[in-house]
Amino acid sequence: MALTEGYKVQVGKLDWFYRDEPPSQPSGDRSPVLLLHGLVSQSYSWRDVMPKLTEQGFRAIAPDWLGHGFSCFPEKRDFAYTADAFVAELGNFLTALEIDKVHLVAQGFMGVYGVLFALRHPERVERLVIINTPLASEVKLPGAIRRMTWPLAGEMMTQDPLLVDRTLEGGGPYQVDDGDLDVYRKPFLTTSSAGRSLLFTLRSFKLADVTQEIAAKLPEWPHMTQLIWGAADPWVPVALAEKWVTTLPTGELVKLDEVGHYAQEDWADKVADALVLFLRRAPLVDA
C-alpha cells in the first residue's frame, strides 16, 4: 500500500487522513471494520491486514488518529488531546463518513480510546477486537515513552524522527523494514507539529484513569469480543490478557507466538487470520 493511498475528510476544524478499501465481493449488510493504530504508529500499520478483510467481503477503514501520521496536528486550543476529546472526535469521524455501526479493532496504548468509544457507544459497535491494549491499571506506559513527557527533554525527544524506530522496534522481537520506517518517520521529518502533537498526546495521557473506566465497564460489555495478543509484547504481557479475558462474558483470547506489541506490523497474516475467523463467525443469539 503506497503512502499516498488514502483520503482526507474535514470534521469541524480537524482533518482526518484515512485508508478505505471496499469489499472485493458483495458484502450484504456486513458492518465495516474500523482499524485503530497505537502510539507512534499510523494507519499504514494495517496495510497487509486490510486486503485480507476486503477479500472476505468487509469494508476496511483505517484512520490516522488526530495528531498522528497524516491527519492534522491541532494546537490544544482546537483539540484537547484528552480521552474525552479522542472519543468524541472518533464518533464525529464516523458520522462524517455516514457510518452508523462498525466492527471496531483497537491496538496498543492509543487503543484505549477505541475501547472507550465502544463502551460509551455500544450501539455503534457490533463486535470488538482488542490487540495488545492495556485494560486495567497494572499497566504503565513504557519508560522510553514516559521519558518523552519530561520537561525540556520531552520537547527534544519528540522532535527526533528516530523515536519512531526506537518505539516500534522496542515493542517486539523484529526490526521494521527501512522502507516502512520511512513512512512512519515522514511526518516527523516534514513538520515540527508532528512532534508537538505527540508531546500533547503523551502529556494528556491519563492511562490510570482510562483503564479504571475500562476495567469497570468492560465486564458488562454485551457484544462479542476477541482479544488478540502478541505473546512477545514486553509492555502489556500476555499473562494479563489471560486474566482479563476471564472477566468478559463473551470474550475469547487468541495468543500469537513470536509477535510483539505492534502485532499487525510484526505478523499481519496471523492477525488477519484471527480477525477473519472472528468476524465471520455467526452472531450470538442475544448479541
Helix 162-170 to helix 178-190 angle (10° resolution) is 130
**pLDDT tens by residue, 224-272:** 999 999 999 999 999 999 999 999 988 999 999 999 999 999 999 999 9
The length of the chain in residues reads 287
96-143: pLDDT as tens digits: 999 999 999 999 999 999 999 999 999 999 999 999 999 999 999 999
What pLDDT score was predicted for residue 101? 97
Residues 6+ apart with CB under 8 A from 277: none
* pLDDT at 262 (0 to 100): 98
- Which residues are CB-neighbours of 4 under 8 A, at least 6 positions away? none
Question: Element (H or E) spanning 33, and its range?
Answer: strand 33-36
| pLDDT category of residue 179 using cuts at 50, 70 and 90 | very high
Mean per-residue pLDDT of the chain? 94
Cα-trace Rg, the chain: 17
Q: How far apart are CA 7 and CA 63, in angstroms?
A: 9
pLDDT per residue over 181-197, tens digit each? 999 999 999 999 999 99
Inter-residue contact 67 to 41 (CB < 8 Å): no
* Predicted local distance difference test score (pLDDT) of residue 116: 98
Q: Are strands 60-63 and 14-21 parallel, antiparallel or unpaired?
A: antiparallel
